[in-house]
Amino acid sequence: MNFSPELMALARYLAGEFDNQAQAMAEPAWYVHLHLWQRPLPIPLFKDSITLFVEQANALTPDQPYRQRMMQLYSSAETTERLHVQYYMLKDLKAVQGGGRHAEKLRQLTPEQLEFLPGCRLDVTCEPLTANTYHFKANLPENTRCCFTYQNQTLQIDLGFEAMANEFLSYDKGINPQTGQATWGALLGPFRFVKRIDFASELSI
Structural domain tally of the chain?
1
Q: What is the pLDDT of residues 103-143, one digit of tens each?
A: 999 998 999 999 999 999 999 999 999 888 999 999 999 99
Q: What is the pLDDT of residues 144-158, one digit of tens each?
A: 999 888 777 888 999
Q: How high is the pLDDT of residue 79?
A: 62
* Full domain range(s) for residue 45: 5-202
CB-CB contact of 140 with 159 (8 Å) = yes
CATH number at residue 22: 2.40.128.590
Mean pLDDT estimate for the chain: 93
Q: Does residue 80 carry a pLDDT above 80?
A: no
pTM for this prediction: 0.94
Following CA atoms 13, 18, 19, 23 in sequence, which dihedral angle do they give, to the nearest 10 degrees?
Answer: -10
